[in-house]
Amino acid sequence: MVMEETNTKVPSPIGENKIRLDAREKVTGAALFADDIQFGSGLLHARVKRSPHPHARIISIDTSKAKALPGVKAVVTGEDYPGYIGLYLLDRHIFCRDKVRYVGDPVAGVAAKSEQIAEKALQLIEVEYEVLEPVLDPEAGVSPEAPLLHPNLEEYEVANFIFPEPGTNISNHFKIRKGDVESVWDECEALVERKYHIPHIQHVPIEPHVAIAKVDETGEVTLWGSSQSPFAQRNLIAKCLGISQSDMRVIAPYVGGGFGSKAGVSMEALAVVIASQVKGRPVKLLLTREEEFYTAFVRQGLVAYFKMGCDADGRLLAMENKFFWDAGAYTEYGVNITRASGYSSSGPYEVPNVKTDSYCVYTNHPVGGPMRGFGMPEMHAGLEQCIDELARDIDMDPVEFRRINCLKTGSVLVTGSKMHPIGLTQCLEKAADAIGWGSKAPPSAPNKKRGKGIALMWKAPAMPPNAGSSAWVELAEDGTLTVGVGGQDIGQGAFTVAAQMAAAALGVPYEWVRIATPVDTLYSPYEWQTVASRLTWSMGNAVVNAAKDARRQILDLVAEAWEEDPQNLDIVNGIVVSYKSEREMPLKDIAIYGLPKPDDQGWLGGPVRGRGNFMPSYITGLDPETGQGERAVVHYTTGAQAVELEVDLDTGRVEILRGVSAFDVGRAINPELVEAQMEGGFVQGMSSALFESMQLKDGVMQNPSFVDYRIATSTDVPLDLENIIVEVPQDDGPWGARGVGEHSMVPTIPAIANAIYDAVGIRMEGPPFTAEKIYLAMLDAGIVK
């Protein structure tokens, strides 16, 4: 057993807490001033005592010295909060109760008059631990000899499409059994077998996680947070605390970067629990940048095995995949990433025989959660390199190999269902043409080698079958329109697109439309979450339905007043017109007060408020043993990326010269926003390919700062980025639209890896493809001396 000294802190390469807090004062001074204005001098500041061990049993927690410190208003532990919280799998407490399972696991919380006092109070909390053997590798974690991290797994509440294996560290095992892979290996002209390791990375939003919670004397909770999921937070926190969702209000202003990290619940529940001990006073919890790196959601690590084979004509015959997802200490969100990678495990190809085992594995690493791409960048990273290798093994051009095998309208998918209309072949051809496939320009210097690479992708919205959206539209006296939505704008332009759709569906100028903000669960219409690249499609359908409802009310009213058929009426630029009588009337004359009946006999109509919702009703379950079913997902977005790069033979440094993205978005509601998503996803994918990796040693992150954790900056972005929009309409999308927010990050790693191979003939087990790794690989291969 280990007694934690009162001044022990989570291992930190940044330095003493005082230095960190002084820096935070400078950075967040304006924000704190704004908080004082909104919440007054009664605002308290929270800090969290975290585990220094990746795996340990809590023997005792002594908070008496912290409680006695002047300025401390509350000290909270998990003792009084026994409930479990989680989205798909309820497997964690808000504060640890019996064990800690990763470095950074919350053990106690403090609310004080200042952040400095709260930090000092943390140092006075004494925790006695019994250190336990950790699980630090997902493959080792599935072994029967591995320490069992969640012995109560069989008791956890879980969604009916998640399949944990009690008595193991496997929180979800998703299977695909299509055809018979063993029967066709001998028929293959070429076989490729590879192992890839994809490291954990961080979302690194510019704005760290922040939440302010207030619990009033009646127990009603208000939570202000930087959130992609206000309604999910309302539901999950309320359920965990045993209160009504109607007593839990979440207000979510604009988000300063999310990329999935601010979906679901991470640190927000901590603020609520701490605030419950100081009723009537708001409590603010702001993560430090260091905490942001390893105590908020991270992108899961992956160990992936691929085996695939083709015939002499380049037809894929079989594919066998095994994925071990390093999902971290709690997998309440990560279990669905495992599922998504399973039902997409063939990649965007029609393969008659597929066997996949996708395992979500508990480890003592930071908690894995949603990140842009939701498992698809990790899975495609290895798969698309294997596709390249197969093509080269039979002396076939990689573009032609992909053209033969890629999914087309009507293709039979890995789950047995059929592909809806798509333009993947167009994406492939357009990307290849734009990058100048088949030709190679000379390098810019004698010590450099130039190469080109290409990769395909597919991704479906990974969500429950009943994830719904709702919206309302309301007309003001002057005919302008306010639109209520529950989805969040995290920089992707969701509010802009919602306004465009409402304007087009109702028949008013776009400039007349305003979005009701901030998103507030007390007033805003319900939205499942801002995840899965689903808002343009799902929330968009709800907005269109709400606008159509308002339009119907208006036209029915005018038709009654004019004694005309509504079919002869229209709304054009905010004016109701009749194609029969040629009468017209502006909306401002009828939107609120209605229309008078003849001879002063009363009025018709009244305030116009349209309501709409949308939920897909056609998603079916999959057989837990085979992964086969009629329709596993709502749709897939597909696309291609191509890159041209140079490798410096003296240093191993990679320079991306050109990048091309081509995606089938169904219908581009706002082409400029679509191109911005393509560009941003390419850059973020490039960053994960070349630079990013959480360096975890014995469960401790060694590089939790921008000093040591490298991300792409403007100087790394190629000057030549081309974005190509392909439009094959989606049958259930508004005007045929589907999402593209995450997809442009999915194929970037393998496109770059394939280009590196084209340039210097080396492949590595996984990213990041740093200069050092490339140079050493070239040295081992005898390419340089």
Q: Mean pLDDT throughout 771-777?
A: 98
DSSP-assigned states of every residue in 628-659: --S-SSS--EEEEEEEEEEEETTT--EEEEEE
- The answer as to CATH 3.40.50.720 being correct for domain 8-20+467-614 is no
The C-alpha atoms of residue 329 and residue 103 are separated, in whole angstroms, by 10
The C-alpha atoms of residue 716 and residue 472 are separated, in whole angstroms, by 43
CB-based contact 663:423 (threshold 8 Å)? no
DSSP-assigned states of every residue in 157-208: -B-TT---BTTTTEEEEEEEEES-GGGTGGG-SEEEEEEEEE--B----SSP
Q: Do β-strands 696-697 and 609-614 pair in parallel, antiparallel, or remain unpaired?
A: unpaired
Asked whether the predicted pLDDT for residue 24 surpasses 80, the reply is no
Asked whether the predicted pLDDT for residue 12 surpasses 90, the reply is no
> Residue 609's beta-bridge partner residues?
474
Query: Do 8-20+467-614 and 301-463+621-780 come out as alike in CATH topology?
Result: yes
CB-based contact 60:128 (threshold 8 Å)? yes
Tens of pLDDT, residue by residue over 368-420, are 999 999 999 999 999 999 999 999 999 999 999 999 999 999 999 999 999 99
Give the number of C-alpha atoms closer than 13 A to the C-alpha of residue 76, restricted to the C-beta side.
Answer: 28
The C-alpha atoms of residue 436 and residue 274 are separated, in whole angstroms, by 59
Asked whether the predicted pLDDT for residue 675 surpasses 80, the reply is yes
Supply the pLDDT for residue 9. 40
Class of domain 301-463+621-780 (CATH, top level): alpha beta
Mean pLDDT for the chain overall: 95
The C-alpha atoms of residue 615 and residue 364 are separated, in whole angstroms, by 37
Supply the pLDDT for residue 7. 39
Asked whether the predicted pLDDT for residue 525 surpasses 60, the reply is yes
Q: How many helices (H) and strands (E) does the chain have?
A: 17, 32
Tokens of 431: 């990307």
Tens of pLDDT, residue by residue over 706-727, are 999 999 999 999 999 999 999 9
- Please report, for the chain, the start and end positions of each structural domain, with discontinuous segments joined by +: 8-20+467-614, 34-132+209-286, 301-463+621-780
Tens of pLDDT, residue by residue over 56-112, are 999 999 999 999 999 999 999 999 899 999 999 999 999 999 999 999 999 999 999
CATH among 3.40.50.300, 1.20.120.1770, 3.90.1170.50, 3.90.420.10 for 34-132+209-286 = 3.90.1170.50
Q: Mean pLDDT throughout 482-509?
A: 97
Supply the pLDDT for residue 36. 63
Closest to 456 measured CA to CA, from 391, 383, 397? 383
Closest to 260 measured CA to CA, from 347, 399, 370? 370
Q: Mean pLDDT throughout 632-640?
A: 97
Supply the pLDDT for residue 34. 61
Buried b / exposed e over 12-51, threshold 16 CB at 10 Å, is: beeeebeebbeebeeebeeebeebeeebeeebbbbbbbbb
Supply the pLDDT for residue 37. 74
CB-based contact 152:169 (threshold 8 Å)? no
Tens of pLDDT, residue by residue over 448-483, are 999 999 999 999 999 999 999 999 999 999 999 999
Supply the pLDDT for residue 38. 85
Supply the pLDDT for residue 16. 35
Give the number of C-alpha atoms closer than 13 A to the C-alpha of residue 336, restricted to the C-beta side.
Answer: 26
The C-alpha atoms of residue 730 and residue 562 are separated, in whole angstroms, by 38
**Identity of residue 519:** V
Confidence at 780, pLDDT banded by 50, 70, 90: very high
**Identity of residue 417:** S
Supply the pLDDT for residue 26. 40
Give the number of C-alpha atoms closer than 13 A to the C-alpha of residue 764, restricted to the C-beta side.
Answer: 25
Residue 682 gets which letter from DSSP? H
Q: Mean pLDDT throughout 423-440?
A: 97
Q: Mean pLDDT throughout 546-570?
A: 97
The C-alpha atoms of residue 480 and residue 574 are separated, in whole angstroms, by 8
User: What does the H/E/C string look like for 538-592?
Assistant: HHHHHHHHHHHHHHHHHHHHHHHHHCCCHHHEEEECCEEEECCCCCEEEHHHCCC
Asked whether the predicted pLDDT for residue 30 surpasses 80, the reply is no
Asked whether the predicted pLDDT for residue 15 surpasses 70, the reply is no
Supply the pLDDT for residue 19. 35
Burial of 654 (0-12, 13-18, 19+ CB in 10 A): buried
At residue 379, the 3 state secondary structure works out as: helix
The C-alpha atoms of residue 71 and residue 121 are separated, in whole angstroms, by 9
**Identity of residue 474:** E
